[in-house]
Amino acid sequence: MAARIIHFTVNGRPEQAEFPETCPAQDVKDLFRSAAEAGPHDILKLYNPKGNIINISPSLEPDACYTLEVVAADCNSEPLASNGICEEKVYLCDSRLQSLERKLQMEAGETPAVVHEMKKQVDSFREKLEGVEHLSWLGLFKDLSDETHKPSPFYHKRALHKTRKECERVREAFVQMSSLEVSEDVRQYLKTPTFDNWQWEDAEIMVLLQVMYTDLEFISTFNMEPEVLQQFLFEVYRRYNNIPFHNFKHCFCVTQMMYGLIWLTDLRSRMDSMDLLIMLTSALCHDLDHTGYNNAYQINARTELALRYNDISPLENHHCAVAFQILEKAESNIFRNLSVDRYKRIREGIIKCVLATDMMSHNEILIKFKAILPTFDFTNKEHKDVLMMILIKASDVSNEARPLEVAEPWLDCLLQEFYNQSDVEKLEGLPVTPFMDRDKVTKPSAQAGFIRLVLLPLFVELANLFPCLEQHIIDPVRKALDYYTEMEKQNRPESGAQGEDTCGGGHSPPTANQTAEPAAAAQ
């Protein structure tokens, strides 16, 4: 009897299935289920080389290479009605891995790297399972309760740029999720400053960004094609690097805070849609291709960026350039259906907003804003331009406006990036940036000074225009200041230097200008 051999991959692993041409369809499905190590109630999806979902049946073509995925559990099936069953499956998987590890150690004397990787994946899945109430619409409904989900903030050493395989895996997940309906609870939660970014993976984040463009009616107003928006979001994701702080999750946090501010302050009734589009897109692109080293390093090390932009905001100019490189490609140009004049206005607005995130211009912009506040007029273009710059600056440094369990891991990530830079500066014989020196900087003193000298003055002025921000933004920032001030007091007796300021190892407290640059890079 003629046999049919089908080639496919599952979890990135190549497999092949052999069965008679007259084999019943259910037997073929069971064969694929076995290859995926899936349970009887798990849902399988098979994709052909074109990426289309097809039936698992005896009519599969031998010459094609298919992709098999276990995408979800059947929520209507009684055996999977509770997380307890899922936890039991994870436990069984962990036990099988431990048994395999013991056997390999006995036979080969060491555990192969692939087993370590599988154990990491099981631990990662268990961690995610504990933070998810239930898996509806492929995991994009998260636990929105008050329970904290504090992750380990520290990045392991990874290649700076994302690999092609890593990007494609995230892209496939994003495309699969992008057509699914996001629950109303998530949509409302997305509009709040309390949003917890740590619960969401990169593909899910892209779906949430798509929701922002949809719910602000940008897609209909500016005639954006959904597939072009998806390609744009993917290209943005791809061009954020694997660094501790200035990564894709930071980009999302800044964009989400901008989105929240638009709703909190009712900007939809005060500014036109194009201004809102400029602000949201600027937030999304404001740190593209950041390598983890700030402008001071770029200039002192005479990097290519510093030479190209003549030491004038080299990073911010580069972020803008990368954004418009993405927009130069028709398949990712979300503005391609706009007139030349409208595109020109958007381009000018994005450049102005992204360049405003260079903290060297912090005082200048804040002084301008304070000067126009008493007579602020939303119909005055100059007034609106300054407000747009203030809003992106506030969004960029807004982590401390979030709940402590969300904000503090970001500070740990930022300090890791700072320490990395100061280590390199020492190795290369460059001037060491004071607020980044791991031998001098303490976490509480650095943050307390930053909140006092940068965050509160900025947010207080913004709240003078939008009083509602007193409760939503300023109160949490003041609580954060109390938290780090108390931590600083507790640290002083341990250092034996009660009379000294711990910031900078006994040096005088940072001035507004000195503190502004870390924030820059910062939050």
Q: What is the DSSP string of 99-143?
A: HHHHHHHHHHSS--HHHHHHHHHHHHHHHHHHT-S---GGGTS--
The mean pLDDT value for 150-173 works out to: 76
Question: Taking a C-beta distance cutoff of 8 angstroms, is the pair 384, 275 a contact?
Answer: yes
DSSP string for 70-82? EEEE-TTSGGGSS
Which stretch, 50-54, 480-484, 498-502, has highest mean pLDDT? 480-484
Looking at the structure, do residues 319 and 214 belong to the same domain, yes or no? yes
Looking at the structure, do residues 391 and 465 belong to the same domain, yes or no? no
Range of the domain at 115: 83-122
Q: How confident is the model at residue 108 (pLDDT cuts 50, 70, 90)?
A: low
Residue where a domain terminates, one of 80, 112, 136: 80
Looking at the structure, do residues 365 and 227 belong to the same domain, yes or no? yes
Residue 127 confidence (pLDDT): 57
Coil vs helix vs strand at 187: helix
Token pair belonging to 510:
């940072």
Scanning 183-247, the segments in alpha helix (DSSP H) are 184-189, 202-215, 218-221, 226-238
- Lowest average pLDDT, out of 28-37, 166-175, 246-255, 369-378, goes to 28-37
- Report the distance separating Cα 278 and Cα 243, nearest Å: 26
In a domain, 390, yes or no: yes
- Lowest average pLDDT, out of 332-346, 378-392, 453-467, 503-517, goes to 503-517
> What number of other Cβ atoms are within 10 A of residue 6's Cβ?
22
The mean pLDDT value for 492-518 works out to: 40
> What number of other Cβ atoms are within 10 A of residue 374's Cβ?
7
Looking at the structure, do residues 260 and 369 belong to the same domain, yes or no? yes
* pLDDT exceeds cutoff 60 at 502: no
Convert 474-518 into a string of H (helix), E (strand) and C (coil): HHHHHHHHHHHHHHHHHHHHHHCCCCCCCCCCCCCCCCHHHHHHH
When the pLDDT of each residue in the chain is averaged and rounded to a whole number, the result is: 84
Looking at the structure, do residues 346 and 320 belong to the same domain, yes or no? yes
Q: How confident is the model at residue 153 (pLDDT cuts 50, 70, 90)?
A: very low
Number of separate domains in the chain: 4
* pLDDT exceeds cutoff 70 at 227: yes
* pLDDT exceeds cutoff 50 at 513: no
* pLDDT exceeds cutoff 90 at 423: yes
Looking at the structure, do residues 67 and 89 belong to the same domain, yes or no? no
Q: What angle do CA 56, 61, 65 make, to 5 degrees?
A: 85
- Lowest average pLDDT, out of 57-61, 327-331, 399-403, goes to 57-61
Indicate which CATH number applies to the domain containing 279.
1.10.1300.10
Question: Taking a C-beta distance cutoff of 8 angstroms, is the pair 355, 284 a contact?
Answer: no
Q: How confident is the model at residue 104 (pLDDT cuts 50, 70, 90)?
A: low
In a domain, 222, yes or no: yes
- Lowest average pLDDT, out of 71-85, 111-125, 190-204, 379-393, goes to 71-85
* pLDDT exceeds cutoff 80 at 332: yes
Residue 20 confidence (pLDDT): 85
The sign of the CA dihedral 147, 89, 206, 55 is negative
Q: Catalytic residues, which ones?
A: 246
> What number of other Cβ atoms are within 10 A of residue 484's Cβ?
23
The mean pLDDT value for 66-74 works out to: 70
In a domain, 134, yes or no: no
Residue 219 confidence (pLDDT): 97
